[in-house]
Structure 1
């Protein structure tokens, strides 16, 4: 009788701790809204968790929704014009952001994360071995790149890019009007990369010639695709 009671107690403890563990590992849903200086919604802002970008972004009304692990401590928002703003989660389920500068809304098409063997060709992906277009891709996620002070320092290390201050051109292309290439960050066309921190960048691809033609006239001076972590 005592043995049976003891076994029942042990089983009860096992079930209790198993249920507790499942509850502690259950993801938490966080929602919120991102607005600019004038309380207007910021569209397309990337949501970050513990310093890393996620696939979540704000909709046209500035709202976002994301599920995070209980261990997550920081939530942030990233835009190419306003940079990064992060705050502690502190167990909150609603976190709003008000950015202190006017945000420029960029229209673009979202792309998914791809492996090192895959090349982003604008609006599609292809294996490197299956294309003959002039494409170069560089993994810049290492510590040696995160030590750079600006994204332009990282671009200077790429063989297909010329950088002078914040002026960037792609080698081997005939420039049209403004000589700057088209910048695309996580699939979104942007007008500036000034606020991108090198430690946030996973890889950089340079497209030119026929590889950049999928972007039309915008890609005439080459295209630089920046994939964030």
Structure 2
């Protein structure tokens, strides 16, 4: 056995019964920064692989620990890819790469965002590109069939009629429509927006996610995010389409003779006498449905947008023209 310990800088002597083991170690000092922005990362975890030696970076991203030369250090931080390096020198700068998948896997929760894996609410998101592909005059018409659990129907067959939206079933008697929040402003009218100007639509269907908006969110919340300008050169974009609309199938109406036959059968079945149509000669055979609908009704939708800005401010301007023929005369 060794009767006394030998301590010197860079040398540690471990004394054990019947044997002596020498472990050469050094003080490794370094700093952890973001490879994307170059800013220091505070709170990053530093561990010596396969050992119980660990530490974390301070607010300036610096750390220091004892590690043998050739040891492998594992550096990890939320939102960044875990990295392993080999101890080769006395100090060094470690650059962590952002984890794109972790940063993009977020969902809108009220006024902010939350990681997708942490979200247990019944929320759905529809991108603006999917709405624009439908070529509808109303964004809610484009949303039909793309939002499970959300019922969207037209209040009438009249072109340009309002859409009725019901989230997770009928709730409030009288007004069962959800709360619309456009770019953070509650109470907006989504029907005045053009699908080409919408970045995304998020629907908060459960009470937990919508609770932040209070009682006005009792029927659900529809969050609308419009497109914004970006720093750089100004961009001018144009989107438009034109087309015609027709009724796919019209109901077959009775002519004058068929109408008289049916009315007589109804009268006889109810125990009354047959109706005397002799004094009603010359009844017109008018198909009123042909006057209600216009064949090849023209529809136009044009949108012009100008976006741009600088590092200090951005802008987005757009103009939209919509036209839809709605009657025969």
User: Would you tell me which structure has more strand in proportion to its own residues?
Assistant: 2
**TM-score scaled by structure 2?**
0.32
Higher relative contact order (CA 8 A, sep 6+): 1
Higher Cα Rg, which structure = 2
**TM-score scaled by structure 1?**
0.45
